[in-house]
C-alpha cells in the first residue's frame, strides 16, 4: 500500500484557513539555495534538480537497489524558506530580485547518506545537471510553529501573513526569525491563481 502524505499527514500539509499552533518534527530534505526572482529560469532549474533527486530515490528499486526500510510513497511537495536581503528589507515595496530562498523536497525517514549518494550517482548517469553539486541533504526541525492555508496568488500572501502575525501577538508568541516557510500543494501549470493552495508557516517561541 502506497504511503500518501496528503492523507497520512494532513496536520502538516492541510491546515485550515485560520492560524494554528503546531509542533513540526525533524525531517530530511534535499535543499538548494539562491537569490532572486522565482519567476526566472534559474529558479526553475533549481526546482528541476531537486525533483530529479527526489524521483531517483522514489524509483530506486527499479534500478536494482531497494534501500532498507523502503516503502512505496508519493513524492513530497516542493517547499521554500524565504527571506530578504538587507537592501530588500529597506525597500518600500517588494523587489523580487532581493529575495533570498532555500527550496527543498522532503525525503522519507528511510533515506540515509548511502541512499543519497546513490541518488546523486543515478542522476549524474542520466543527466549530469550543472546544479547537482549545489544540492545538500540535511535534517531540519521547525519545532513550534504557526501555520495556515493560503488560497490565492502568491502576491496576495500578505493578507494571510497579517492574520498569522495577529494570532502570534494575541497568543503571547514571538517569531524566532523573519524567514517564513511555504509549502506548494498546487500544480502551477494547471491551477488558476485564485485557487492555488500554499501552506504558510512562521517559526515561533512562547513569550516570556
Assigned domain for 6 exists: no
128 in any annotated domain: yes
Count: domains in the chain: 1
Supply the CATH number for residue 113's domain.
Answer: 3.20.80.10
2 belongs to a structural domain = no
Model confidence pLDDT, tens digit, residues 83-111 = 999 999 998 888 999 999 999 999 999 99
- Residue 52 is assigned to a structural domain of this protein: yes
One pLDDT digit (tens) per residue for the chain, 208 residues: 899 999 999 999 999 999 999 999 999 999 999 999 999 999 999 999 999 999 999 999 999 999 999 999 999 999 999 999 999 999 888 899 999 999 999 999 999 999 999 999 999 999 888 999 999 999 999 999 999 999 999 999 999 999 999 999 999 999 999 999 999 999 888 899 999 999 999 999 997 6
In a domain, 98, yes or no: yes
CB 112 within 8 A of CB 67: yes
Residue 53, by phi and psi: left (phi above 0), alpha (psi -120 to 50) or beta?
A: alpha
Does residue 3 fall inside a structural domain? Answer: no
Q: Is residue 186 part of a domain?
A: yes
Output the pTM of the full model.
0.95
Q: What is the dihedral of CA 105, 74, 17, 145, to 10 degrees?
A: -40
Structural domain range at position 79? 12-206
Asked if residues 145 and 203 have their Cβ atoms less than 8 Å apart, the reply is yes
| Residue 1 forms part of a structural domain | no
Amino acid at each position: 500500500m502506497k504511503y500518501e502524505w496528503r492523507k497520512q499527514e494532513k496536520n502538516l500539509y492541510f491546515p485550515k484557513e485560520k492560524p494554528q499552533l503546531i509542533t513540526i518534527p525533524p525531517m530530511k530534505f534535499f535543499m538548494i539555495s539562491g537569490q532572486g526572482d522565482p519567476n526566472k529560469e534559474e529558479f526553475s532549474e533549481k526546482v528541476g534538480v531537486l525533483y530529479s533527486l527526489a524521483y531517483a530515490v522514489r524509483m530506486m528499486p527499479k534500478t536494482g537497489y531497494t534501500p532498507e526500510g523502503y516503502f512505496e510513497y508519493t513524492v513530497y511537495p516542493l517547499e521554500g524558506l524565504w527571506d530578504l536581503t538587507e537592501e530588500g528589507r529597506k525597500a518600500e515595496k517588494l523587489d523580487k530580485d532581493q529575495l533570498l530562498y532555500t527550496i527543498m523536497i522532503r525525503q522519507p525517514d528511510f533515506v540515509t547518506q548511502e541512499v543519497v549518494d546513490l541518488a546523486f550517482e543515478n542522476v549524474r548517469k542520466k543527466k549530469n545537471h550543472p546544479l547537482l553539486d549545489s544540492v545538500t541533504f540535511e535534517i531540519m526541525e521547525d519545532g513550534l510553529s504557526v501555520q495556515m492555508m493560503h488560497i490565492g496568488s502568491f502576491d496576495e500572501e500578505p493578507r494571510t501573513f497579517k492574520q498569522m502575525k495577529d494570532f502570534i501577538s494575541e497568543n503571547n508568541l514571538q517569531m524566532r526569525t523573519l524567514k517564513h516557510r511555504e509549502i506548494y500543494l498546487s500544480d502551477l501549470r494547471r491551477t488558476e491563481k485564485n485557487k492555488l493552495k500554499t501552506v504558510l508557516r512562521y517559526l515561533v517561541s512562547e513569550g516570556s
